[in-house]
Chain A
Amino acid sequence: MATHSIIASFKDTPSFFHAAEKVRDAGYKKWDTYSSFPVHGMPEAQGQPRSKVPVFTFLGGVTGFTLGTFIVWYMGAYDYPLIVGGKPFFSPIFPFPIMYELTILLAAFGTLGGMFITNLLPQHHNPLFESDTFLEVAGDRLVIAIESRDPKFDSAATRQFLEEIGGTDIEEVSA
């Protein structure tokens, strides 16, 4: 069976954090940290860029606002114009709550969708789930996994590297 990744555990949050910095500095590309809670400053320690989720939020928001404006104009001023209280058929003022709420609604859907897209979820299977050690991440284990598809990956060297940066319980996870 081919190797999917090599995983190593770390004893506490600071050593986990500094180990991540070392993996980043060693030039590995296909690797990740695993912890049951978000570690403050970890994206920088892993050398990851800012999340792209807000792009999806923005797209959702713009769609919502446009849709809101369109339905109010189409339904009230184009398809079935009706005089009520001498008010104009269409104005950006009176139906503003509609546009406002739809902006927020679709921006929220954009955000949730964006979180799934950027995280490549749903993905119900991953070889890491087969590892007993990995399952303990849900409790208090802090794990770094370097994947075999990383260009720098070398079974023996990577294992040694993880040991050098303080990793314990090193395990090879097969694909």
Chain B
Amino acid sequence: MATTSQEMDPAQAALLEKVEPAELYEQPLVTNNRDFNWVTNKICGIVEAGTPTWWWVCMAVALATASFTGMGLLWLVSTGVGVWGLANPINWGWAIVNFVFWIGIGHAGTLISAVLCLLKQGWRTSINRAAEAMTIFAVVCAGIFPLFHVGRVWFAWWLFPLPNANAIWPQFRSPLEWDVFAVSTYGTVSVLFWYMGMIPDLGTLRDRAVQRLKAGAYEGATEFKKKFAEGFDVFRKYFYGIFAMGWRNAGNHWRNYEMAYLVLAGLSTPLVLSVHTIVSFDFAVSQLPGWHTTIFPPYFVAGAIFSGFGMVLTLMLPLRAIFGLHDLITQRHIDNMCKICLGTGSIVGYAYIMEFFIAWYGANPYESFAFINRAFGQYWWAYIMMFSCNVFTPQLFWFKKVRQNWALVWVMSILINVGMWFERFVITVTSLANDFLPSSWGYYSPTIVDIFTFFGTFGLFSVLFLLFVRFAPMMPIGEVKFVMPQGDPHGHHEDEKGGHH
């Protein structure tokens, strides 16, 4: 540069000196100039405040809904798998549909916490904890279906490599056995990741309880209420204290923690992709027209991320409104999630069309029939539901006006999940109902027990999520502070320009 400016006209050089590079405006991740204390108080406050009435109401409704799963399963276990609509030729009906649906929901949580962490996307911080919780609870709901479809559920442990009385070991050539390993690993690693991420925040809750106990001030409370509040804080001190494992917020702790977090993110990324790939193998490894396709792994993964982000939006928008978290989950967060839905929804739409193309191009009459039958056969209504919800709905996210309309985004996020449930239904049922020989064709309808069991899982999911919201810090406090300008050690003061050496 020095030589160039020497050759340049001095007036021009002087002008060049005055030019400042334009700073790209980036919307802040925490709006309204909140400080560290505000973040801690806000997030811990949700856990420490009294239980709001709406929580009890929701909990009662959720428990009542969850009881439907309980009844459905009780009925199944006491009678036999015949109470589900599974029969020849559709030996896999709602059981696998619901399983794949719930597993798919979970994927956004891992994606937010792992893939976006590796890609250094700061906006993940305020939504990742709740999304991870969603993952774990979705895996719990998913697990019910394969577990109970075996009929004699008390023998489900035969799927695990444990010595059983008949000296028979699991069959490792079967994709269903791979599934057992994939899903149980996924569930376990998600819990580890979630728990580790929570350790610093559990330490914060413990320290705050100790602070209140030491200060002994429970303002304006009667003697009875004071005792009550004190009792709660003693409980918190021990409960959160035990799980916080003695976390001290030390620089050394953070150093190892950040490395461990990064490594877990690195492990979870191939894990989340492998899980849905292996789930798709359940279908793709078969010989059935409509299932036996190589597009299944990437198409399933995209669909899973799509439905998962749909569910994150469905959960986060109400939470944001109820707890007033608008400064932490900003329009930028919602925009980004909508754009991911748009991207993955388009991939899913591309996959639908590509399947058709390959069926035609592959010149296999059974394959072409399967796809024509999907769209125009006896399940045409399910295909229309799937296509309109998954392909057309997210296209609205191209428009900023739509992304800013939270009520609309919320409704659309539910439509996405409806569409993704229908996708799994279409794949499973249409292929099984009309395979190679017309003599073996059939029509599948779920029974009331199927419907009860599935409906109830939404209750189970809600019960778990409500407990999470009530007892665990909903956002990673440390990580939110990390992306705030005050958290930058290299002097990102408001009175200074720039911020990096």
Q: Which residue of A lies closest to B251 (CB)?
A: A33
Contact B210 A42 (CB under 8 A): no
Q: Which residue of B lies closest to A31 (CB)?
A: B251
B363 lies within 8 A of chain A by Cβ: no
Q: Which residue of B lies closest to A145 (CB)?
A: B250
Q: Which residue from A37, A57, A72, A129 sits with its C-beta under 8 Å from B267? A: A57
Contacts of B246 in A (CB 8 A): 121-126
B392 lies within 8 A of chain A by Cβ: no
- Given known contacts A12-B486, A39-B487, A108-B188, A75 and B173 CB-to-CB distance under 8 angstroms: no
A98 lies within 8 A of chain B by Cβ: yes
Q: Which residue of B lies closest to A142 (CB)?
A: B36
Contacts of A100 in B (CB 8 A): 274
Contacts of A48 in B (CB 8 A): 251-252, 255
The complex places the Cα of A71 from the Cα of B196 at a distance, in Å, of 29
Q: Which residue of B lies closest to A110 (CB)?
A: B263
Q: Give min CB distance, B55 to chain A, whole Å.
A: 25
- Given known contacts A57-B267, A71-B161, A42 and B249 CB-to-CB distance under 8 angstroms: no
A3 lies within 8 A of chain B by Cβ: no
Q: Which residue of A lies closest to B205 (CB)?
A: A138
The interface bits of chain B over 390-424 (1 if a CB of A lies within 8 angstroms of the residue's CB, else 0) are 00000000000000000000000000000000000
Residue of B196, B260, B270 with highest tally of chain A CB at under 10 A: B260
Contacts of A98 in B (CB 8 A): 172, 177-178, 181
Q: Give min CB distance, B467 to chain A, whole Å.
A: 23
Instruction: Count residues on chain A whose CB falls below 8 Å from chain B CBs.
Output: 71
The complex places the Cα of A100 from the Cα of B186 at a distance, in Å, of 12
The complex places the Cα of A85 from the Cα of B174 at a distance, in Å, of 11
B491 lies within 8 A of chain A by Cβ: yes
Instruction: Count residues on chain B whose CB falls below 8 Å from chain A CBs.
Output: 72
The complex places the Cα of A123 from the Cα of B211 at a distance, in Å, of 19
Contact B249 A39 (CB under 8 A): no
Contact A80 B168 (CB under 8 A): yes
The complex places the Cα of A71 from the Cα of B441 at a distance, in Å, of 40
Q: Which residue of B lies closest to A40 (CB)?
A: B489
The interface bits of chain B over 465-500 (1 if a CB of A lies within 8 angstroms of the residue's CB, else 0) are 000000000000111111000111111010000000
Contacts of A62 in B (CB 8 A): none
The complex places the Cα of A104 from the Cα of B265 at a distance, in Å, of 11
Chain A residues near B (Cβ < 8 Å): 12-14, 16-17, 20, 32-43, 45-46, 48, 50-54, 57, 71-72, 75-76, 79-80, 82, 84-85, 87, 94-95, 97-98, 100-102, 104-105, 107-109, 111-112, 114-116, 118-119, 121-126, 128-129, 132, 135-140
Give the top 10 A-B pairs by smallest Cβ distance, nearest first.
Answer: A17-B489, A140-B36, A75-B169, A51-B259, A37-B481, A33-B251, A115-B260, A97-B178, A138-B207, A122-B245
Chain B residues near A (Cβ < 8 Å): 35-37, 40-41, 161, 167-173, 177-178, 181-182, 185, 188-189, 192-193, 195-196, 200, 203-204, 207-208, 210-211, 214, 241-242, 245-260, 263-264, 267-268, 270-271, 274, 278, 281, 477-482, 486-491, 493
A-B contact pairs, 14 of them (CB 8 A): A13-B487, A35-B249, A35-B254, A38-B255, A38-B478, A40-B487, A76-B173, A79-B167, A98-B172, A98-B177, A108-B189, A118-B256, A119-B256, A124-B246
